[in-house]
Every structure is written in structure tokens, then in C-alpha cells.
Structure 1
Amino acid sequence: MLYAFSRSRFAWALLTAGSLALLLIALFFQYVKGYHPCVMCVYQRAALTGVIFAGLVGWLMPRHGLFSNLALLGWLAASYQGFRLAEEHVGYQLNPSPFNQCSSFAEFPAWAPLDRWLPALFHPTGDCADVDWSLLGWSMPQWLMGIFAVLAVLAAFFILVRLVGVRREA
């Protein structure tokens, strides 16, 4: 049952829609609430975009072994990277110091200058140490640490489901 679910368009659509909703919430905070995204926020958005992209690949080809498995690995990699970025961001917030600051400029690879291609989404204008918003005592990057951790655990779980399911089919 879980194996079939992991290969369904519905499962991939849930991942894509949920991740897209998180990205839209980030844009709401930026453009409606007026919170300025820092460089770490922008990098976390890029990681979330990686999850969305992996979800789209999985949604388009849920039963194609190679693409579906690559989508699972992409989901895991983007989630893990998002967790690491959120963790670093939390460090800037909890330990503000003139010696512990993030850059003011995004440093995307030359082959993917997201801040130039999509500045409305990936151009940083804020300070990493600022805590503009919190819920239940957690700042936005602390929530994102939890969200990315859940996404990574789910990706790892579905990779395991796939491995067990393939063995059962053989």
C-alpha cells in the first residue's frame, strides 16, 4: 500500500502543493507583511524550490523508475540542505555577533544566478540576525528546521519503502 502510494501522482502532488504553499507563505511575509528576507532566507527558499522541482518531476513521472527515484533523491538532498541552512540561520539569530554574520549578497553558482534571474524571490535585503516573526516562541528559521527535518525524514522513509517494495516485487 505504501509502495503504491509512493508511486502515485497524488503523493507527489501533495509534496509539490505543500512545498509551494510554504514558498507562497514566505512571499506573503515579504510582500504583504513587509519582512525583508536575508541571504539565509533566500538560500532556504532555493532549497524549498528544489523540493518543489523534485515533486514536479515525481508528479510528471511517478511510475518511471529512473525519474521517480531521482526525484526522491532530489527531495532528500534539497530537504537536507534546507535543514542545514535553517540550522545555520538559527545560529545567526541565537548568537548575534559582529564576528558571526551572514553575507548581505547571495552567492549562487555562476550557472544558476537565481538572485538575478528571479530577484522578486531570491534577492536578499534583510539581516540574518533579525527575528521579525515568531510563533510559539520559535522564529521562522527554527520552524523551517523542523519542516525540512520532516521533509527529509519523509523522503528517507519513502526511499526505504521503495527499496522494500522493489524487493517484494522481484
Structure 2
Amino acid sequence: MAVTALLERTHSFGQSKWSWFLLALSSTGLTCAALYFQHVLDLQPCIKCIYQRTAVLGILLAALIPLIVNTFATRLLALLIWGYSAFEGLMASRAHLEIIFAENPFFMVCDIVPNFPSFMPLHEWLPSIFAATGDCDENSWQFLGMGMASWLQVIFIAHLVVLIWVFISLFFKPKQSA
């Protein structure tokens, strides 16, 4: 019964703008941290870093939708964008880790120019944010024994777990008190 009660509370909280504000705030914080690492600590992002950064910005975009218009349809659209972005970010972080920990790094290929759609060349429009200027096998920054790609994998998995919980909570409307 405790799980049901928690799902009911999550359902109510997920409908509030406050929940979407927290998601936007966390994505903004991650983006600011990435820009701090790049422009202050001079840790240049590789192509996989740029894809992960784009995924975090996709989560931010998802959070902004219900903040502007908070309806069931916009929340559902936001959940879809959030899920897609978190999944793509997870795939980029996993690919990044494969390059970093490859047994023979000479056979691992890392592009230099991002493969953004031709109608949206973010690396040309905002090169200080989306240009890949680093090497994919760079892993010098460490925190608690894990590098940035490892931490981003954890972050994207956490996003997917929370997203699944929020999605399940859609089916647990709070009971009306008598």
C-alpha cells in the first residue's frame, strides 16, 4: 500500500509546474556545469560530449513545455521528449565509455564534426556550446573514481528510472477523501 500511496503522490506532484521546474533546474545545472568545465577548466568536449550535452538540453526543452502550458497533452509530450533525450544521452555516454575503455583505442573512431540535421547545424550557430574540440578518449577529470562519461551514464539512467516512475504514476490518481 505504501507504493500505491507514493505513486498517488507522484501523480499529483507530476501535474504541478513545480515538478517540471525542478527538472528544468537540474538540466540547467548540468548544462552550466558542462560549460564551466569547458570554458573555465579548459576541458574541451568531444563529439560524444556534445551529443550528451544536446540530450541534456532536450530534457530541458521537455521540462519547459509544461511550464508554459500545463495540460495532460503537454505533459505527455514532455514525457516523450524527456524519455527520448535521456535514452539518446545514455546511448551517447555508453558509446563514449566504449571509446575510453577500448582495448585497442586505435580502432575506435570518433568524429570531429557533429552530425546534427542540416536544418539545425547547432555547431555552426553556437560553436562555443556545440563545437567538438576535444578527444573522445580524454578521461582526466575524475570524481569518486569515475570520469565524466561514467557520471553522465548514471545521470541518464537516473532520468530514465524517474521517468518510468512518473509514467507509471499517471495511472494512480489520488483517491478523493470523503
Q: Shorter chain as normaliser: what TM range?
A: over 0.9
* Paired position in structure 2 for 1:59: 67
* Paired position in structure 2 for 1:82: 89
The number of residue pairs the alignment matches comes to 167
* Paired position in structure 2 for 1:165: 173
* TM-score, with structure 2 as normaliser: 0.89
Alpha-carbon separation, structure 2, partners of 1:133 and 1:82: 19
Matches within 5 A, 1:78-157: 78-95=85-102, 97-157=105-165
Pair 1:72 & 2:83 matched: no
RMSD: 1.5
Pair 1:21 & 2:29 matched: yes
Alpha-carbon separation, structure 2, partners of 1:68 and 1:105: 34
Q: Which amino acid aligns with 2:152?
A: L
Identity of aligned residues (%): 31
Larger radius of gyration: 2
CA drift at 1:81: 0.8
CA drift at 1:69: 0.6
SS in 2 for 1:103: coil
* TM-score, with structure 1 as normaliser: 0.93
CA drift at 1:75: 0.7
1:48 is matched with which residue: 34, 48, 56? 56
1:12-45 deviation per Cα after TM superposition (whole angstroms, max 9, x unaligned) = 0000001110010000000000111000000101
Gaps of at least 5 residues in structure 2 are 1-8
Gaps of at least 5 residues in structure 1 are none
